[in-house]
Structure 1
Amino acid sequence: MQTMQGIHNPLDLDIIDASGYLTGQETWVADHVAAITDSMRRHGWQGAPLVVLPEWAISYSGTHRLLAAEAAGLEQVPAVSLEDLFEACGLDLEAIVAADDLMVTMHRPEILGHLPDDVRAAYTLDDII
């Protein structure tokens, strides 16, 4: 399990930098972002990396954490690829999307529902379901 520099990465996936990525959400709570920003300024990144779609430079999870990392001036925003996450669970994301006629950017709950509960929880995806 990778815990370097406060990152909790139980599947030991490759960490990529999501600095400059867009958030996948249209709304967020400013006070929540401010509280996380304050924590990141004091302690750096703590917890799970973001889950992202690198080919689109979009964060699939962690809207508040992404905005807070940028506001805190972190040099890097730790993230893992959604496709790598599925692969580590023995799942083929592309096949699931095709079989269920889903759009990876629009059907997040339906797509994430294929992941085991413990993986969704470990990578802070369980609140999307």
Structure 2
Amino acid sequence: MADENAVIVNVLDLPIEWRHNITPYHEVRDPDLVQQLRASMEAHGWQGPPLVCDRDLYEVNQDQAYTGSHRIVAWALAQDDPSADMPCVFIQDIGEHYSIDLGELVEENFGNTYAAVEQFVALLPSDVAEAYGLDNG
């Protein structure tokens, strides 16, 4: 279910889906940031870019996020619901916009998705990578 207070920054005007069952890219590295984001989200809803995800990457009914590891946790806490829907755009849609095939990059990197995503981000215009939070690693 969409957040009625959401202000989503979507510079490529890609389709946004509100999804749950999203795996963060990495663990929480800054618990204070999670609490700051949670407070903001409780007061203002989702603000900023959507998560950049890979739709059901491992075919386990779960999307892989490449951005927003702290936002995923903060949103679940703010909504008091670990399965709360979050706004996502899909990395394949970004790739299609710039003729970048993530699948090919994964193959070139011998199945190493992390290396492929780093290469993918390096091929994007820096302002687009920054706008979607892909420049943070």
The separation in 1 between residues aligned to 2:6 and 2:39, in whole angstroms, is 17
User: TM-score, normalized by length of structure 2?
Assistant: 0.80
The CA distance in 2 between the partners of 1:22 and 1:97, in whole Å, is 19
Q: How does 1:14-25 map to 2 (within 5 A)?
A: 14-25=15-26
Do residues 93 (structure 1) and 102 (structure 2) align? Answer: yes
The structure-2 alpha-carbon separation of the partners of 1:58 and 1:100, relative to structure 1 and needing over 3 Å to count, comes to: closer
Which aligned pairs between 1:1-129 and structure 2 lie closer than 5 A?
5-56=6-57, 57-73=63-79, 75-101=84-110, 103-104=112-113, 106-107=114-115, 108-128=117-137
Question: 1:99/1:11 Cα in 2 relative to 1: closer, same or farther (>3 Å)?
Answer: same
1:115 deviates by 1.4
Structure with greater strand share of residues: 2
List gaps (5 residues or longer) in structure 2.
Answer: 58-62
- Once the two structures are TM-superposed, the CA of residue 85 in structure 1 deviates from its matched residue by 1.0
**Deviation for aligned residue 1:127:** 1.7
On the 8 A contact 1:19/1:70 being kept in 2, the answer is no
Q: 2:14, 2:89 within 8 Å by CA — same for their partners in 1?
A: yes
Deviations 1:23-52 (A, max 9, x none): 120342111101000000000001110101
TM-score by length of 1: 0.84
For residues 5 and 34 of structure 1, the distance between their equivalents in structure 2, rounded to whole angstroms, comes to 19
CA distance in 2 between partners of 1:37 and 1:27 (Å): 13
Q: Is the 8 A contact 2:105 2:119 kept in 1?
A: no
Question: Does structure 2 conserve the Cα–Cα contact (< 8 Å) formed by 1:86 and 1:92?
Answer: yes
Number of paired residues? Answer: 124
**CA RMSD, aligned part only?**
1.9
Instruction: In structure 2, give the amino acid aligned to 1:66.
Output: I
Q: C-alpha distance in 2, partners of 1:51/1:21?
A: 10
Query: What fraction of aligned residue pairs are identical, expressed as a percent?
Result: 32
